[in-house]
Every structure is written in structure tokens, then in C-alpha cells.
Chains A and B, each alone.
Chain A
Amino acid sequence: DVKVTQSSRYLVKRTGEKVFLECVQDMDHENMFWYRQDPGLGLRLIYFSYDVKMKEKGDIPEGYSVSREKKERFSLILESASTNQTSMYLCASSLLQGNNSPLHFGNGTRLTVT
């Protein structure tokens, strides 16, 4: 079974802090994704990566950056956290490009910015 592990289940940070959300997958998947989940809005794609050191903006990249130095690890960075970034963050990976390769999600990190 694919395992996608997000390092924190809950985080509380202050406005202006730099925040790192870490995600590791153990199945040698090429593709990794960061989504945020908000009630009534579903899942929205922040950034994704199809290869090491490669990144692409999703639908809502503003205020975020990412890092993929190793194939198994994909980090989401909030350079200066703001209260509107309070949300559930979900990391996902998939084996191949294209929608025939299902997404495997982690259990999420619930971030609160005060």
C-alpha cells in the first residue's frame, strides 16, 4: 500500500511566521501535490511537482512556495503566514502523469494561523 505521510496533524502558528509543511511518500511516485481543503470549496490545488527540483503552480499558489529536493519529499512553505491561510492541507502523490493514475492522499495537516 502507498503511504503518504504528513509530518504534523495539527499546527498553530502566528501571523508572519514562516511555516513548513512536510510530506513524504514511500512508493517512488513521480508526482506530488499540495491541496488545501476548505468547507464549501472542496480541494484546491496549490502546487504540484512531476519530478525532483521541478514545480508547477496550481490554482491558488499565491502566498505559498514548494521544494522538492528528493523524489520522496515535497514541502509546502508559507513564507509569511496569514490568517486566511488557516485551513486543512492535504498532500498527495501519484505514480504517473495523467488522470488514469489515482491520487494517494496523506491524512492532512490542520493549520491554524492566529
Chain B
Amino acid sequence: GQQLNQSPQSMFIQEGEDVSMNCTSSSIFNTWLWYKQDPGEGPVLLIALYKAGELTSNGRLTAQFGITRKDSFLNISASIPSDVGIYFCAGASSNTGKLIFGQGTTLQVKP
């Protein structure tokens, strides 16, 4: 079946550093979504991307829909302790419309 490969699996960084994570797929997607899950809570949508090449920001977060439609990245600038959590990418196939989630990136920030 279709799969998303999300990397890195985990990151441990110093407060103030920038963070980058990405997702790749062997299939073409027409939607890329980025969610964040705070400890003890459900995932919350951060950014939605619907067009190849689209670059969208939400505060210190920036995400891009890859030109090939097979990848997406999320950058976090100047990380702060409340950025801690699990970040999930999710992609929707242009064939099936089905939403598939990546494995998640666990981010820890050292004050």
C-alpha cells in the first residue's frame, strides 16, 4: 500500500535552533497536511498545502508542497520549549483521496 516516510524520527535540539523535518512518498499527492500533537493531547492541524510548489507560513512555522508532489517539508525557526511534541505529516493521494499519515517526528527542546 501507499506509504509516507517521515524523517527524522526524533530530534533533540537546543532552544533557539531551527528545525527541519520532511516527508516523502512514492506516490503523487494532491494535499499535504502538517499536524502537531502536544503531550497528552490529540493532533492539531498546523498547516495545509493544496498546490505543488506552495509555500505557507504560520508564525515561526513554514511548510512547502514539493514540486514533484511527492514530498513536503516543515521548518520551525527559533525553537522554544513549547514546540515540544510529535509532528505528523499527512498526504492525500490524487488517485484515492485517502489520507495517509507519516510515522511522526518527536521533537524535544532543551531550554
Contact = CB atoms under 8 A, between A and B. Distances in A.
A99 B42 contact: no
Looking at chain B's contact residues, the main secondary structure is: strand
Given A40-B9, A42-B6, A102-B48, A90 B42 contact: yes
Interface residues of A, number: 20
Interface stretch (B13-21, B62-70, B71-79, B96-104): B96-104
A43 B88 contact: yes
Interface string B34-56: 00000011111100101000000
A102 B9 CA distance: 24
Contacts of A59: 1
B31 interface: yes
A17 B48 CA distance: 40
A105 interface: yes
A103 B92 CA distance: 13
Interface in A61-114: 90, 92, 98-100, 102-103, 105-108
